[in-house]
Amino acid sequence: MKLYFAPGACSLAGRISLHEAGLVAEFERVDLKTKITEQGYDYLSINPRGYVPLLALDDGSAITENIAVLEFIADRDPALGPGGPLGRTRLLEILSWLSTELHVAFRPLWDSGDDAEKATAADLVAKLLDIISEQINELYLFGPRFTVADAYLFAMLRWTGALGITVSPQMRGYFERVAERPSVQRALSEEGLPNARNLIDISSFEALK
Ligand SMILES: N[C@@H](CCC(=O)N[C@@H](CS)C(=O)NCC(=O)O)C(=O)O
């Protein structure tokens, strides 16, 4: 299988999760501005939506959307989901929240919108992170068990560092815990990203790209 990614983008969650699951994959970088892949293909012909991630399977099928990509990986390695009778439902619940509430809230911050709009978006992201930090009572979102949802949250927390969004000490501690995982260190290094283990070290966009 092959994960189409852009360094530091949300596709980092898929890469971390693939490593956690011990799944062998290739990775192809996409230039999100030109929509050309590193092998010179027109990415829009691979994913007409133009964004990453896309996970291409060996049988020729393709999975898009973080929720689906991460759920697919957790399905291959159930240890990467919360487990229990409602495990799958709880995983979809948190992945949906991360995608449709938190991820979307970042969007104005990447656009060239006005400063007031960006300030409102930054406030919303901070508020949403406060809400989700209440779910981190132990090590991770689902207690002691690291799941694909943690990989997604980690990828987005990296952005807060560069965007100057202040997060709670509890969230910073969570970030540091996730950053220590070998799968995360490997993923960051493969994407050419600094192996920052705390959010303070991610103080520029260079650290995202
Ligand atoms: N709904 C999509 C959104 C993915 C997304 O926003 N990807 C960003 C990177 S984090 C991207 O590729 N943006 C480039 C673009 O939209 O042109 C998902 O959850 O997978």
Tens of pLDDT, residues 131-146: 999 999 899 999 999 9
Question: How remote is the CA of residue 207 from the centroid of ligand 1, in Å?
Answer: 18
152 lines ligand 1 (CB under 6 A): no
Structure tokens at 124: 């919303």
pLDDT value at residue 129: 97
Mean pLDDT of 160-181: 93
What residue's CA is closest to ligand 1, atom 2? 65
How far away, in angstroms, is 20 Cα from ligand 1 center? 22
What's the pLDDT score for residue 201?
64
What pLDDT does 174 receive?
96
User: Tens digit of pLDDT for each residue in 36-69?
Assistant: 999 999 999 999 999 999 999 999 999 999 999 9
Q: How far is CA 106 from the centre of its chain?
A: 12
What's the 13 CA to ligand 1 centre distance in angstroms? Answer: 12
Residue the block writes with tokens 């994960």: 3
96 ligand 1 Cβ < 6 A: no
The mean per-residue pLDDT over the stretch 29-36 comes to 96
Q: Whose CA is nearest to atom 1 of ligand 1?
A: 65
Q: Which residue CA neighbors atom 15 of ligand 1 most closely?
A: 51
What average pLDDT score do residues 163-187 get? 95
Assess whether the C-beta atom of 51 lies below 6 angstroms from ligand 1. Answer: yes
CB distance 101 to ligand 1 below 6 Å: no
pLDDT value of residue 34: 97
| Ligand 1 pocket residue status of 17, Cβ below 6 Å | no
**85 CA to centre of ligand 1 in angstroms:** 31
Q: What is the pLDDT of residue 204?
A: 59
So where are the chain's domains?
2-76, 82-182+195-201
Reported as a pLDDT band with limits 50, 70 and 90, residue 197 is confident
Question: pTM for this structure?
Answer: 0.96
For residue 27, what is the DSSP state?
E
Kindly tell me if the per-residue pLDDT of 195 is higher than 90.
Answer: no
Question: Where does residue 114 fall: left (phi above 0), alpha (psi -120 to 50 degrees), or beta otherwise?
Answer: beta
Query: Whose CA is closest to 103, among 176, 9, 31?
Result: 9
Band (196; pLDDT cuts 50, 70, 90)? confident
Domain 82-182+195-201 falls in which CATH fold?
Glutathione S-transferase Yfyf (Class Pi); Chain A, domain 2 (1.20.1050)
Given this model, what pLDDT does residue 184 score? Answer: 97
- pLDDT score recorded for residue 203: 59
Protein residue with least CA distance to atom 6, ligand 1: 51
Q: Which CATH architecture has domain 2-76?
A: 3-Layer(aba) Sandwich (3.40)
Angle at which helix 87-97 crosses helix 148-163, to 10 degrees, equals 20
- Please state, in angstroms and rounded to a whole number, the distance separating the CA atoms of residues 62 and 10: 17
pLDDT above 70 covers a percentage of the chain that reads: 95
Residue 112 has pLDDT above 90, yes or no: no
Does the pLDDT of residue 91 top 70, yes or no?
A: yes
